[in-house]
Amino acid sequence: RAKAAGGNRFERADPEADARAITRHGLTTALPAALDRGEFFIEYQPLVHLDDGSVHGAEALVRWCHPQHGVLGPDRFIPLAEHTGLIVPLGRWVLQEAARQARFWNRNHADGGPLRINVNLSPTQLHHPNLVADTVDVLERSGLDPGALCLEVTESALIGADEDLLKPLRQLAEMGVDIALDDFGTGYSNLANLRRLPVSVLKLDRSFTQSMQQHPVDPVDLKIVEGIVSLAHSLELTVTVEGVETGAQAEQLRELGCDTAQGWYYARPGAPDRIHSLVLADAV
Contacts of 112 (CB under 8 A, 6+ apart): 54, 55, 279, 282, 283
Q: Is 182 in the site for Mg ion (CB under 5 A)?
A: yes
Residue in 201, 242, 252, 272 binding ligand C2E, rule: CB under 6 A: 242
Backbone angles phi, psi at 258, to 5 degrees: -65, 150
Considering beta carbons, is residue 103 or 128 the nearer one to ligand C2E?
A: 128
Shortest distance, position 142 Cβ to ligand C2E, whole Å: 16
120 binds ligand C2E (CB under 6 A): yes
- The footprint of ligand C2E on residues 5-64 (CB under 6 A) is 45, 61-62
Rounded least distance, CB 203 to Mg ion, Å: 5
CA distance 159 to 259: 25
* Min CB(139)–ligand C2E separation in Å: 17
Whole-angstrom CA distances from 110 to 142, 148, 150 are 16, 12, 18
Binders of Mg ion among 227-246, rule CB under 5 A?
A: 242
Residues 79, 85: Cα–Cα separation, whole Å: 10
87-108 vs 15-37: helix crossing angle, rounded to 10: 60
Residue with Cβ nearer Mg ion (97 or 242): 242
- Which residues contact residue 231 at a Cβ distance below 8 angstroms, ignoring those fewer than 6 apart? 191, 194
**Residue 145 binds which of Mg ion, ligand C2E, none (CB < 5-8 A, kind-dependent):** none
> Which residue ranges make up the site for Mg ion (CB under 5 A)?
120, 152, 182-183, 242
> Which residue ranges make up the site for ligand C2E (CB under 6 A)?
45, 61-62, 73-75, 78, 91, 94, 120-122, 152, 182-183, 242-245, 262-264, 269
